[in-house]
Amino acid sequence: MATAKKIEFLLFDVETIADGQLVAAVKYPTEELEPAEAIERFQEELRETQKGRDFIPHTFQIPIAVVVAKVDSDLNMVDLVSLDEPQFRSHVMTQHFWRGWEHYHHPTWVTFNGRGFDIPVMELAAFRYGLNLKDWFHNKGASYTHPRNRYNANAHLDLHEILTNYGSCWFRGGLDLAATLIGKPGKMATKGDQVQEMWNQGKLQEISDYCRCDVLDTYFVFLRTSVLNGRIDLAREAELVEQTHRWLVERSGECQAYVDYLSCWGDWKNPWEVVEEAATKPVQELPDPTQRGESEVSESGVSDESDVSVGSPVDSLDSDGESSS
């Protein structure tokens, strides 16, 4: 899948954990709580006030896995990398993330619901670790050209924003649903709410593998969205999907994430292929009612053996549920 074309898109996903020391210092400064105790207490408070939800806000989170897919101008996936693997140092991942964006001359970030979480997490991580993001925070000229402008899809294409028309509706089911609609694995054994405990158990590689699978789902949803907006057609999407499948198979011996993803792989069932196949079948002509010897005709003049043409336009139904003429 190697290519010399410009890297035009960086698709990414971030997995995070709560910073227990920060939680203890900000939420419970007068109490000598251990980091794990502070996190547990904060989650208990959240469950009481957030209808059972206990996800700690992004301001208390730090990145522990960042996976980026490099995609060229023809939408080929050139590479898929987990930053600072296998050390997974938060400050190093953050630096590689932003410096990589600069290295490739500011390609478009692509996420699924990243505007409300992944991008803010990485911005705040840069703040925490003292990184200069002058190009990302550029605010000269027309506001719609600013990288951080919500509607500047050339800087950040949030697929969730596109599919909800910028928040005009709620996309229930999230990335899992979007991926499942097009036959891809979606969420498998690991779920996002398990990441904190996995990190506590030292399962850093498993977290990275989970993140890789999310980025693969994001890539395939990105391709279908590119069909939706007319950048590519279904035939080109099918080529890219097959190409990426081969890429994963070739590298499955090196990465458990690819083995897991391929084990749940599905192919989108194209309804248009069924229609086209039906349309190519020969259509039998209706018998001529004047040729009484060739077909028995009812008193109404309609053959009892009349055929229904396949591939013809779909009949519309009127308000009474009857076929309109």
Domains along the sequence of the chain with CATH: 7-272 (3.30.420.10)
Preceding amide of 86 cis, omega within 30: yes
pLDDT digits (tens, 9 = 90+) for 146-174: 999 999 999 999 999 999 999 999 999 99
Distance CA 123, CA 117 (A): 10
State the pairing for strand pair 77-82/108-111: unpaired
Beta carbons of 82 and 208 less than 8 angstroms apart: yes
Distance CA 206, CA 228 (A): 33
At residue 273, the pLDDT reads 84
Taking residue 274's Cβ as centre, other Cβ atoms within 10 Å add up to: 10
Beta carbons of 68 and 97 less than 8 angstroms apart: yes
Torsion of CA 224, 226, 231, 233, to 10 degrees: 0
pLDDT digits (tens, 9 = 90+) for 71-111: 999 999 999 999 999 999 999 999 999 999 999 999 999 99
Residue 120 identity = P
Structure tokens belonging to residue 226: 């590119």
At residue 310, the pLDDT reads 37
At residue 282, the pLDDT reads 64
How far separated are the first and last CA of the chain, in Å rounded?
Answer: 53
> Is 202 strand, coil or helix?
coil
> Is 194 strand, coil or helix?
helix
> Is 128 strand, coil or helix?
helix
Beta carbons of 236 and 73 less than 8 angstroms apart: no
Task: List the chain pLDDT tens, one digit each, 325 residues.
Answer: 444 689 999 999 999 999 999 999 999 999 999 999 999 999 999 999 988 899 999 999 999 999 999 999 999 999 999 999 999 999 999 999 999 999 999 999 999 999 999 999 999 999 999 999 999 999 999 999 999 999 999 999 999 999 999 999 999 999 999 999 999 999 887 877 899 999 999 999 999 999 999 999 999 999 999 999 999 999 999 999 999 999 999 999 999 999 999 999 999 999 988 766 666 666 556 556 555 554 444 444 444 444 433 343 333 333 344 433 3
At residue 129, the pLDDT reads 99
Distance CA 158, CA 76 (A): 19
E strands within 150-294?
156-158
At residue 144, the pLDDT reads 95
Distance CA 127, CA 90 (A): 13
